[in-house]
């Protein structure tokens, strides 16, 4: 698989407004190439573990970063995080929780499960856009992922 | 027969001058002589007899003296004139002195004779022997108290007159009997008798008292000897047990008095009867159920028994004290029931509370998560419109969109503050010693990084350490200090004073500013959630800051209050409850 076609960002977000704003921000930061969107936890797991509609995908084609909302239909974000970080094949994928929740328990549990970053979505759009753009920049451009045998 | 007698007649020179002779018929004389001779022989015989009988008499007298001297009683005899004829050894002993050749008048002083009172010397005419010499027969008791008889001798004297063969008074005799010992015994006996009477009376009083004490007791008291014979059975025992003491064998007690084990059903085994156990030498306590025809419905008693031991520690019986605990048991049952109900209620309430808490958490989670999303959309898409279609929009359109954004953002702040406030009540306190001075300096340092054009003069006083939750205290100081900063924002020279005073032994921290102040009439609204005393246009804020301060002090067991005057500044005071001092 060519690097060009590789999914760079898996964006897991159920709220269409937040999704649109996030995509807009990523786009503005010129980070919108190869974004895959999952609208709930189950869809995200299917994509990551190449199941269901994504059975053709290879699990080794890991996204470079997963932006994960916590409050999701079907399977919630914490469960997705648990599965990703609990599987040796996927645990190296950086996961950034991007959520409205400021609940201490969510933050503690996320870090306990091995989240790489925890961002609270601000109401203020500019700050939201900045956060998304910075995230993308950091994880896509600056962060050097460990080499994985493919 | 004749008798011739010749007698010479002599002259003055002694010469016989003549002879003179007579011739006498002596036949008669001869007879007379013979009679005389016979008489002389008889006389000699008599004399011999007399001599003989005199020896006898002497022997008799000696014997008599021996007898008299061997007598225990003193014997004294005197003739009519008071000369002592007889005074035996015992009399010596008793009177202390021997017979003295003195007139009767001196007897009393010489022998120191007193009347039975031991004080009055005996009058002469009352002396028994003197009275006997007067012909009286007497028996009296006197005391002889001379140096020889010290400490005195009690003597019983029987005296009688002596009459000769012709019946005329010729003397008196007194028999002395030393009754000192008897008197002493009598006195002793009398004393004993008196003591006995005394102790008997005391004993009776005691017994009476004991009985009334026992009968006035609310507790039943029963004592029995080692054979199970009841010695004590007080009134309360009678009324509690229903029966009085019965002449039974120990083995029959339980059945007779209707005693059951604490389950109320099993008859009390005879050997488990507390009194029976006490008699066996065992101290014990037990709850027993009593049901017999005399106690309607049955009663519960609590009994404690212990053995009765004599001074040698040998068990001589047992005593059991007991009281009616029927009511107490009922009360206890009622209390247990209430407690159980209470516990169930507590469990229920706790569950309800936990459920409510869970709901609240879910609610605040939902608020935190879901309420902000639409705000983001409002703010985000307004911004998107401005970015994408800005050039086509008139100025008024720009302003209105900015207003939408400001509204959304303010609502976001409100939501955050509200969540913070609601979390405050739920999270547990983690108290430790906190250096308030250090904490306040850190808070002030955070503020100083914020750009500020005006001058704020901070006066930091002494701030003692205290026991508190550092995170909550930090929040409290942040809120109070930012409050002070906010309301002095229109002062050219803002002064904020931070310190601590002692009031009733309590640390009272305070933050004083020279800002806008407020009208004390509205002071009660200061600490309510979303309560504000100023317009948002004047001073921004959500009205949660002081509510949080109030909540923090309340959770520490302290309080917060303020003093202010419009345009003259405000002072906020707070305490942190009892155990804040170091």
Are the beta carbons of A71 and B382 separated by less than 8 Å?
no
Measure the CA–CA gap between B9 and B17, rounded to whole angstroms.
Answer: 6
CA dihedral B185, B191, B194, B198 (to 10 degrees): -140
Nearest CB partner across the interface for B368, out of A18, A103, A122: A103
Instruction: Give the residue with greater pLDDT, A139 vs A86.
Output: A86
pLDDT at A133: 77
For an interface test with B, give the residue of A73, A77, A125 to mutate (most B CBs within 10 A): A125
- Closest approach of B449 to chain A, Cα-based (Å): 20
Q: Does A14 touch chain B (CB under 8 A)?
A: no
pLDDT at B225: 92
For chain A, what percent of residues have pLDDT higher than 70? Answer: 88
Are the beta carbons of A99 and B369 separated by less than 8 Å?
yes
Mean pLDDT of chain A: 81
Measure the CA–CA gap between B517 and B513, rounded to whole angstroms.
Answer: 8
Whether the CB-CB separation of A90 and A58 falls below 8 Å is answered with no
Contacting residues for B264 by C-beta, under 8 A, at least 6 apart? B289, B291, B298
Measure the CA–CA gap between B171 and A74, rounded to whole angstroms.
Answer: 155
The pTM assigned to this predicted structure is 0.47
Chain A residue with the nearest C-alpha to that of B405: A124
pLDDT at A128: 77
- Which residues on chain A are in Cβ contact (under 8 Å) with B411? 123
Contacting residues for B302 by C-beta, under 8 A, at least 6 apart? B285, B286, B287, B322, B323, B325
Strand partners, B288: B301
- Lowest-pLDDT range of A26-35, A36-45, B96-105, B245-254: A26-35
Are the beta carbons of A71 and B370 separated by less than 8 Å?
yes
Q: Does B146 touch chain A (CB under 8 A)?
A: no
pLDDT band at A3 (very low <50, low <70, confident <90, very high): very low
pLDDT at A146: 63
Contacting residues for B519 by C-beta, under 8 A, at least 6 apart? B533, B564, B566
- Closest approach of A131 to chain B, Cα-based (Å): 13
pLDDT at B571: 92
Chain centroid, CA A133 distance in Å: 13
Predicted confidence (pLDDT) per residue in A49-85, tens digit: 988 888 888 888 888 889 898 888 888 889 999 999 9
Tell me the CB-side half-sphere exposure of residue A58, using CA atoms within 13 A.
Answer: 8
Contacting residues for B295 by C-beta, under 8 A, at least 6 apart? B240, B241, B242, B258
- Which residues on chain A are in Cβ contact (under 8 Å) with B409? 123-124
What sign results for the dihedral spanned by CA atoms B392, B397, B399, B404?
A: negative
Are the beta carbons of B379 and A100 separated by less than 8 Å?
no
Chain B residue with the nearest C-alpha to that of A19: B377
What are φ and ψ of residue B575, in 5° steps? -125, 165
Nearest CB partner across the interface for A124, out of B365, B370, B379: B379
For an interface test with B, give the residue of A70, A123, A133 to mutate (most B CBs within 10 A): A123
Q: Does A103 touch chain B (CB under 8 A)?
A: yes
Are the beta carbons of B412 and A100 separated by less than 8 Å?
no
Q: Does B471 touch chain A (CB under 8 A)?
A: no
Q: Does A118 touch chain B (CB under 8 A)?
A: no
Instruction: Decide if pLDDT at A4 tops 60.
Output: no
Whether the CB-CB separation of B116 and B110 falls below 8 Å is answered with no
- Which residues on chain A are in Cβ contact (under 8 Å) with B428? none
Q: Does A62 touch chain B (CB under 8 A)?
A: no
- H/E stretch holding A19: helix A16-28
Measure the CA–CA gap between A18 and A116, rounded to whole angstroms.
Answer: 21
Measure the CA–CA gap between B407 and B401, rounded to whole angstroms.
Answer: 10
Measure the CA–CA gap between A119 and B17, rounded to whole angstroms.
Answer: 214
Q: Does B406 touch chain A (CB under 8 A)?
A: no
Provide the token pair at B50.
């007399």
Residues of chain B with pLDDT under 70: 3, 24, 26, 29, 451-453, 530, 536-537, 578-582
Measure the CA–CA gap between A84 and B290, rounded to whole angstroms.
Answer: 74
> Residues B302-307: contacts with CB within 8 Å, 24+ apart?
B303/B274, B304/B274, B305/B274, B305/B275, B305/B277, B305/B278, B306/B278, B307/B278, B307/B279, B307/B280, B307/B281, B307/B282, B307/B283
pLDDT at B537: 66
Instruction: Give the residue with greater pLDDT, B23 vs A97.
Output: A97
- H/E stretch holding B233: strand B230-233
> Residues B406-413: contacts with CB within 8 Å, 24+ apart?
B407/B378, B408/A123, B408/B375, B408/B376, B408/B378, B408/B379, B408/B382, B409/A123, B409/A124, B409/B375, B409/B379, B411/A123, B411/B375, B412/A122, B412/A123, B412/A124, B412/B372, B412/B375, B412/B379, B413/B542
The residue whose two tokens read 């009334």 is B212
Q: Does B189 touch chain A (CB under 8 A)?
A: no
Provide the token pair at B265.
């059903």
Instruction: Give the Cα-Cα-Cα angle B36, B4, B20 (nearest 5 degrees).
Output: 125
- Closest approach of A91 to chain B, Cα-based (Å): 27
DSSP label at residue A115: -
pLDDT at A71: 83
- Which residues on chain B are in Cβ contact (under 8 Å) with A133? none
Chain A residue with the nearest C-alpha to that of B388: A24
Are the beta carbons of B376 and A101 separated by less than 8 Å?
no
Nearest in space to B435 (alpha carbons), one of B473, B378, B408: B473
pLDDT at A147: 59
Residue B312 to residues A129, B282, B316: CA-CA distances in angstroms? 102, 17, 10
Are the beta carbons of B374 and A17 separated by less than 8 Å?
yes
């Amino acid at each position: 698989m060519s690097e060009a076609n590789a999914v760079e960002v898996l964006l897991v977000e159920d709220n269409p407004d937040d999704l649109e704003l996030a995509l807009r921000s990523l786009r503005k930061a010129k980070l919108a190439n190869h974004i895959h969107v999952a609208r709930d936890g189950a869809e995200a797991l299917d994509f990551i573990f190449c199941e269901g509609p994504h059975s053709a995908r290879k699990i080794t084609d890991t996204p470079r970063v997963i932006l994960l909302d916590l409050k999701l239909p079907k399977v919630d974000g914490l469960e997705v995080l648990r599965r990703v970080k609990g599987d040796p094949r996927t645990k190296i994928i950086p996961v950034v929780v991007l959520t409205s929740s400021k609940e201490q328990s969510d933050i503690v549990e996320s870090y306990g499960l091995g989240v790489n970053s925890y961002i609270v979505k601000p109401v203020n759009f500019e700050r939201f856009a900045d956060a998304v753009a910075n995230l993308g920049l950091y994880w896509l451009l600056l962060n050097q992922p460990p080499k994985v045998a493919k | 027969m004749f008798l011739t007698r010749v007698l010479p007649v002599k002259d003055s020179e002694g010469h016989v001058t003549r002879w003179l002779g007579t011739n006498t018929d002596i036949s008669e004389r001869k007879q007379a002589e013979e009679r005389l001779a016979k008489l002389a022989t008889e006389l000699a015989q008599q004399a011999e007899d007399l001599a003989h009988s005199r020896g006898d008499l002497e022997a008799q007298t000696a014997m008599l003296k021996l007898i008299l001297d061997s007598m225990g009683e003193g014997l004294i005899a005197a003739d009519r004139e008071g000369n002592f004829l007889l005074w035996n050894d015992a009399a010596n002993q008793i009177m202390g002195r021997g017979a003295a050749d003195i007139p009767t008048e001196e007897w009393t002083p010489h022998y120191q004779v007193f009347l039975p009172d031991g004080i009055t010397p005996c009058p002469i005419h009352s002396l028994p022997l003197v009275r006997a010499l007067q012909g009286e027969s007497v028996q009296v008791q006197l005391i002889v108290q001379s140096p020889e008889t010290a400490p005195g001798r009690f003597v019983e004297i029987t005296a009688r007159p002596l009459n000769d063969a012709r019946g005329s008074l010729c003397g008196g005799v007194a028999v002395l009997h030393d009754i000192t010992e008897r008197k002493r015994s009598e006195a002793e006996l009398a004393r004993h008798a008196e003591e006995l009477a005394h102790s008997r009376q005391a004993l009776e009083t005691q017994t009476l008292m004991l009985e009334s004490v026992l009968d006035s007791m609310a507790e039943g008291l029963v004592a029995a000897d080692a054979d199970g014979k009841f010695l004590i059975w007080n009134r309360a025992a009678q009324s509690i047990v229903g029966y009085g003491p019965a002449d039974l064998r120990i083995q029959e007690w339980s059945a007779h008095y209707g005693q059951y084990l604490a389950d109320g059903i099993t008859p009390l085994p005879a050997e488990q009867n507390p009194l029976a156990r006490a008699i066996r030498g065992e101290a014990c306590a037990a709850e027993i159920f009593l049901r017999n025809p005399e106690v309607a419905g049955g009663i519960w008693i609590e009994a404690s028994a212990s053995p009765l031991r004599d001074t040698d520690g040998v068990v001589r019986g047992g005593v059991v004290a007991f009281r009616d605990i029927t009511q107490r048991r009922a009360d206890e049952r009622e209390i247990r029931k209430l407690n159980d109900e209470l516990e169930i209620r507590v469990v229920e309430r706790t569950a309800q509370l936990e459920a409510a808490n869970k709901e609240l958490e879910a609610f605040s989670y939902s608020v935190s998560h879901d309420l902000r999303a639409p705000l983001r959309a409002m703010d985000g898409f307004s911004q998107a419109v401005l970015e994408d279609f800005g050039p086509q929009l008139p100025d008024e359109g720009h302003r209105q969109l900015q207003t939408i954004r400001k509204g959304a953002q303010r609502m976001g702040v409100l939501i955050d503050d509200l969540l913070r406030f609601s979390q405050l009540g739920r999270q547990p306190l983690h108290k430790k010693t906190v250096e308030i001075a250090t904490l306040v300096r850190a808070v002030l340092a955070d503020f100083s990084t914020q750009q500020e054009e005006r001058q704020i003069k901070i006066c930091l006083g002494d701030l003692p350490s205290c026991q508190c939750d550092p995170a909550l205290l930090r929040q409290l100081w942040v809120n109070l200090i930012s409050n002070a900063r906010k309301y002095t924002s229109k002062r050219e020279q803002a002064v904020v004073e931070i310190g601590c005073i002692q009031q009733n032994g309590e640390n009272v921290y305070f933050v004083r500013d020279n800002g806008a102040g407020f009208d004390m009439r509205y002071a009660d609204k200061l600490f309510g959630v979303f309560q504000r005393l100023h317009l948002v246009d004047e001073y921004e804020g959500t009205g949660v800051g002081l509510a949080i301060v109030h909540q923090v002090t309340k959770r520490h067991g302290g309080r917060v209050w303020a003093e202010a005057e419009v345009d003259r500044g405000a002072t906020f005071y707070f305490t942190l409850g009892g155990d804040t001092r170091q």
